[in-house]
Structure 1
Amino acid sequence: MSQTVVLGVIGSDAHVVGITILEQAFNAAGFDVINLGVQTSQEEFAEAALEHDAAAVLVSSLYGHAEQDCQGFHETLESTGVDATTYIGGNLTVGQDDFEETRATFEELGFDRVFDSETDTEEAVAALTQDLRQRTQETERATISS
């Protein structure tokens, strides 16, 4: 059974190339991909993830204002009933100098993984495959021990 991922570009960002490449890579890896396109609101991500029972929500941003756009993102997902693995990637800050600081900022916002704009699609696919496998195993163990 293939797993569904929802992806899109958050906020006012209109950069489409990154999500188009991600869509192709995740489709080729056997995922069902729901591509929300550009200028996607937090609510649109949450509604699509809920509607499609998404295992993951992948957020892209290239215009440097992702921190502003992602304030409250995980609260929006949670209030909608979405419990999905979340990734964000791209050029997330203006003048992105120290990516480790950027990574820490977005992890504090609740993202499971944070990628810079130089990340290889194969790396993202491998990471998500691993994370979803681990999440499934943890859920199965919790069910067995209940």
Structure 2
Amino acid sequence: MRTVILGVIGSDAHVVGITILERAFEAAGFEVVNLGVQTSQSEFIEAAAEHDAEAILVSSLYGHAEQDCQDFHRAMDEAGLDVTTYIGGNLAVGQDSFDETRKTFREMGFDRVFDSETDPQEAIEALKADLGHRSREAASERTRLRS
């Protein structure tokens, strides 16, 4: 079973969204480690390492995700983690265009960026595809190394 780490980053205390995501991902066959609200970057990273997770799913609804996620991927690299990272929610206060917000978080290193209106099934299908792609790449690399 594939393990994902889920939580609400920073000082955000919105719990309903991650509860819905937890149930949806579990129903789709994922092992979900729900860290709850007000989760620090280091808690996400430590949980991913401890549970040998394949993905970290970051939620934020209070609009300060950019500040909360500064250097998140650098910290992951320093911890030796190579996992798929998703972020979703209301990520920026007063965002004019979600395309700009998506671009910002992609540049920060997130593999996928979702707005607060995204259906959980869309994120589940994206993660299945992304993890399947990573599995094919790893198998290809193993075959290349054996040759």
Do residues 126 (structure 1) and 102 (structure 2) align? no
Do residues 68 (structure 1) and 53 (structure 2) align? no
**AA partner of residue 130 (structure 1):** A
Measured on the aligned residues, the alpha-carbon RMSD in Å equals 0.5
Residue in 1 aligned with 2:89? 90
Q: CA deviation at 1:81?
A: 1.7
Q: Describe the superposition over 1:5-24 as per-residue Cα deviations: whole angstroms up to 9, x where unpaired.
A: 00100000000011100000
Give TM-score, length-normalised by structure 1: 0.98
**AA partner of residue 110 (structure 1):** G
Give TM-score, length-normalised by structure 2: 0.97
Identity, % of aligned pairs? 69
Q: How does 1:45-60 map to 2 (within 5 A)?
A: 45-60=44-59
Residue in 1 aligned with 2:77? 78
Q: CA deviation at 1:97?
A: 1.9
Name the SS for the 1:53 alignment partner. Answer: coil
Q: Provide the C-alpha distance between the structure 1 equivalents of 2:25 and 2:77, rounded to a whole number of angstroms.
A: 24
Residue in 2 aligned with 1:103? 102
Name the SS for the 1:5 alignment partner. Answer: strand
Structure 2's unaligned 5+ residue stretches are none
The count of residues paired between Structure 1 and Structure 2 equals 145
Name the SS for the 2:12 alignment partner. Answer: coil
Q: CA deviation at 1:79?
A: 1.2
Q: Following TM superposition, where does structure 1 have runs of at least 4 consecutive aligned residues deviating by more than 3 angstroms? A: none
Name the SS for the 2:99 alignment partner. Answer: helix
